[in-house]
Amino acid sequence: MTHGIYSASPATNSGHVEKRLIARGLLAGAVAAVLAFLFARLCAEPVIGRAIAFEDGRTDVENAHGVHEHGAELFTRGVQANAGLGFGVLIFGVAMGALFAVLFCVVAARTRGGGPQVLSALLAAAAFGAVYLVPFVKYPPNPPAVGQADTIGARTGWYLVMVLVSVVLAIASVWLARRLADRLGTATGWLLAAGAYLVAITVVMVLLPTVDETPEPLRDGSGAIIYPGFPADDLYEFRLVSLGTQLVLWATIAVVFATLAGRLLGERTESGQASSTAA
């Protein structure tokens, strides 16, 4: 069905099909964002609460010893954890849904067989890996209390660089795989392209700076610990939940979009067959 997305009607109607597919991508992204937010709100809230308690306790100790003066927050933690998180996830989900639909249209027009279900699953897996999983390995997310306010711009910038490089290298590896497949066969071509991507992204990870700002134990002038470092278990749990949130997001996009696109393309195929029979 994939290679026949636009075959059920004249070529002039292909733009209309793409618009309808992108609209379904937007809907899939919105549904995915809601589920991802609920998952994050339910699973991440306990560890975020512990992280905030750690941050507040450390700030009190620092202020008591004249070490640090904590600045005022523009938004409260409650606003950040609810409206801020929900709005951010919604915008991200809708944007990823639209981009996913565009990618689906581009790839579907150049491949044969498989159907929207298989293609959606493969695209979602590839997008999850390139957009989130690979950058996650180099720059994993941190809960509140981990990181310095004066370096947030640099940390965010390096993370975005990692995402951009990962996506560009993924696109280049697909191009390489198609070129190698013509000469060496499909399986060999894709394996070599995947190996090239892994080598290239590993080099990039080594070259990019490492950001490690997990709070160490706070010590007084004599070197005695007056406040512990950030718990490793909480850091691990937060990052695991963040990974799970992205899995929920991309899996939902794949399932919802495949369902909606399958219905749309199935209807067009049946309509095209009926028109051909009538003619």
Task: Check pLDDT > 70 for residue 264.
Answer: yes
Instruction: Return the minimum-mean-pLDDT range out of 131-140, 160-169, 180-189, 236-245.
Output: 180-189
Neighbours of 253 (CB within 10 A): 30
Which has the higher per-residue pLDDT, 101 or 44? 101
Which has the higher per-residue pLDDT, 274 or 21? 21
**CA quadruple 174, 250, 98, 208: dihedral sign:** negative
The structure tokens 């996913």 sit at 100
- Can you tell me the mean pLDDT for 31-42? 92
Beta strand pairing status for 218-219 and 225-227? Answer: antiparallel
Confidence of residue 25 (pLDDT cuts 50, 70, 90): very high
Share of the chain above pLDDT 90, in %: 41
- Can you tell me the mean pLDDT for 167-196? 90
Give pLDDT, residue 1: 44
Give pLDDT, residue 32: 96
Give pLDDT, residue 85: 66
Confidence of residue 52 (pLDDT cuts 50, 70, 90): confident
Give pLDDT, residue 114: 65
Give pLDDT, residue 2: 45
- 66-100 pLDDT, tens per residue? 655 444 444 445 445 555 566 778 899 999 999 99
Query: Distance between alpha carbon 65 and the CA centroid of its chain, in Å?
Result: 41
Check if the beta carbon of residue 8 is closer than 8 Å to that of residue 271: yes
Instruction: Return the minimum-mean-pLDDT range out of 1-5, 183-187, 203-207, 248-252.
Output: 1-5
Give pLDDT, residue 11: 43
Task: Check pLDDT > 70 for residue 278.
Answer: no
- With CA atoms as reference, report the closest residue to 224 among 70, 69, 61, 68: 61
Decide: residue 102, CB within 10 A, 0-12 exposed, 13-18 middle, 19+ buried.
middle
Confidence of residue 120 (pLDDT cuts 50, 70, 90): very high
Give pLDDT, residue 5: 53
Give pLDDT, residue 112: 67
pTM score over 0.75: yes
Torsion of CA 29, 33, 36, 42, to 10 degrees: -160
Share of the chain above pLDDT 70, in %: 78
Q: What are phi and psi of 121, to 5 degrees?
A: -65, -45
